Amino acid sequence: MPFDDRVGYSAIVLEGRYPQAHMKNQLGRELCLWQRSKQKASIVEADTLLKLKK
């Protein structure tokens, strides 16, 4: 999701399954913010951002 150029960010929500044994293949989400001017990404857990499918 590209924002207006004045903001300078793009955002994407990634969804997948955690492969670690202790996570038991649980569904999860990450939010990635891309700062275009510095070409730098910031990533945070986003499991509570949207309702998870069961």
Contact 31, 9 (CB under 8 A): no
Contact 21, 44 (CB under 8 A): no
Please give the pLDDT value at position 4: 79
Please give the pLDDT value at position 17: 95
Residue 20 in domain? yes
Distance CA 42, CA 32 (A): 6
Please give the pLDDT value at position 32: 95
Residue 1 in domain? no
pLDDT digit string, tens, across residues 1-38: 777 778 889 999 999 999 999 999 999 999 999 999 99
Domain around 36: 9-45
Please give the pLDDT value at position 47: 85
Closest CA to 53 of 32, 25, 28: 28
Number of domains comprising the chain: 1
